[in-house]
Amino acid sequence: MKTLRAVLVAAVLTAGVAACGADAATEIDEAFKGYHTAVLARDFPAACAYNAPEATAKLLSSLATQGVNAATCEEAFAVVFDQGGAAETADTISRTAKIDDIQVDGDEATVRWTAVVDGNASPTTWGMRRIDGAWKLVLTN
């Protein structure tokens, strides 16, 4: 289903990140890689752990508008990845994701990155916030 594929692309491109490290930029970079590793491994609990609560709520709401009622982030990922072509799209995004720029302002950050979507480089921006010592995605849209 084409609309669920679009939701997958949005979920993968906007899924959140969390990590520990020497400084904020290093922590964000490590978390970015960890999230994409979890997606590639289909480790949905690990991938979902990178989301701030409001990012998960937005993912579930987005799916609900498509007629998919998932109760958890993990369930949402499983449903989306079960759609034809979704896993391949997510894998391409996760394998080609590269950070272009990280701007940190205290416990807030903006990460600009690029990945391949449908054969084209697609720039994306994540808003992030440190929550309980870990960097998490906070959707700013």
Every domain of the chain and the residues it spans: 2-137
CATH number for 2-137: choose from 3.30.450, 3.30.1490, 3.10.450, 2.40.128: 3.10.450
Q: List, edge to edge, every strand of the sheet that includes 98-105.
A: 98-105, 108-117, 120-131, 134-137
- The pTM of the full predicted model, rounded to 2 decimals, is 0.79
Question: For residue 128, what are the β-bridge partners?
Answer: 109, 137
Cβ neighbours of 60 (radius 10 Å): 17
pLDDT tens for the 141 residues of the chain, in order? 555 555 555 555 444 333 333 499 999 999 889 989 999 999 999 999 998 898 999 999 999 999 988 999 999 999 989 988 999 999 999 999 999 999 999 999 999 999 998 889 999 998 889 999 999 888 654
